[in-house]
Structure 1
């Protein structure tokens, strides 16, 4: 069985991006991301209502890193430390050598190739450093932008689960994409 260790925290760089630890200093950007109905449209979780909620979200991220049960990075541009988005591994399954990748980005940075660049470096990190065998992504079937990113990054559609999650009085479908280490 795999054992994950996120200590020391791995800062990852790409051509344009720095993926770094999220801190309480990022509270305004985390609030902006998680309180925006547009960025949260396909994420069935409650909107954060204030900075206290945003700090609680940061604390939850930090707790998972401390316990080696999940890891999130703040997405920034190399020349600017301002947080533009969040990407990370959730629902880690060490017994199955599998983890779920997830990401979100402030709307003004959509369509600039930031998420595919971040996803590709995290795929490499997941297979080479975490020794994963497979990476999954669970998306809303109407999230065409995310679907396009996953396909561009080599993921394959594995399943479409009908009405498999109940959230805010409605049953929601979800689609699972995956990528196997080859």
Structure 2
């Protein structure tokens, strides 16, 4: 069962990530339809998920929230590498594949963007997407992110080199 609701949306709510949610994350992270799009090449163990929870979620000052539809987990969204001096952070997210196409990722990103700019006083968010992952790029573009650059043949996915597309959004652009 998800932790307390932190942010409320129309289709999804963002809940505090709890240790009990690691089983869900563990399953999703190892789904071949997911890990290929997350710049991962090695299987994630439950130990990896616990370390993520202990050293990043619970201890690092980053913000990671469980995306839920009707209190059922469907994904995760977060702000990574928050730099309060520069006012920037990296946005990361994924939704389990059976929940694709319902707008959950788009709304979760919108909620976190508003939170980042209105509550955390950040001035810029950035995100990376693999060029073949058009769905992830659409989520960013629907939320006002613009392509800022491209790391040519930066990743290796399914036996081929792939570009990584860098997106950015400034606080005054939304």
TM-score range with shorter-chain normalisation? 0.7 to 0.9
Contact preservation (8 Å) 1:89, 1:102: yes
Q: Which residue of structure 2 aligns with residue 179 of structure 1?
A: 169
Q: Does 1:152 align with 2:142?
A: yes
TM-score (norm 1): 0.82
Q: How does 1:86-165 map to 2 (within 5 A)?
A: 86-164=76-154
TM-score by length of 2: 0.85
Check the 8 A contact 1:37/1:47 in 2, yes or no: no
How far the C-alpha of 1:71 sits from its partner, in A, is 1.1
Q: 1:72 and 2:64 equivalent?
A: yes
Which consecutive residues of structure 2, in runs of 5 or more, have no partner in the other structure?
Answer: none
Post-superposition Cα deviations, 1:55-108, rounded to whole Å, max 9, x if no partner, equal 333323324xx332x11000112x32x321010001222222111111011111
SS of 1:53's partner is helix
Aligned residues: 168
Aligned counterpart, 1:47: 43
Following superposition, the deviation at residue 169 of structure 1 comes to 9.6
Indicate yes or no: 2:19 matched with 1:27: no
SS of equivalent residue, structure 1 residue 175: strand
Q: Tell me by how many angstroms 1:41 deviates.
A: 1.2
Ranges in structure 1 where 5+ consecutive residues have no aligned partner:
1-8
RMSD over equivalenced CA pairs, Å: 2.4
How far apart in 2 are the matches of 1:173 and 1:22?
31
Q: Does structure 1 conserve the Cα–Cα contact (< 8 Å) formed by 2:131 and 2:162?
A: no
1:150 and 1:168 mapped to 2: Cα distance? 24
Task: State the 4+ residue runs in structure 1 displaced beyond 2 angstroms.
Answer: 51-63, 163-173
In 2, the alpha carbon distance for the partners of 1:153 and 1:41 equals 23
Query: Does the residue aligned with 2:116 lie in a helix, a strand or coil?
Result: helix
Once residues 52 and 27 of structure 1 are traced to their aligned partners in structure 2, the CA distance between those partners, rounded to angstroms, is 10
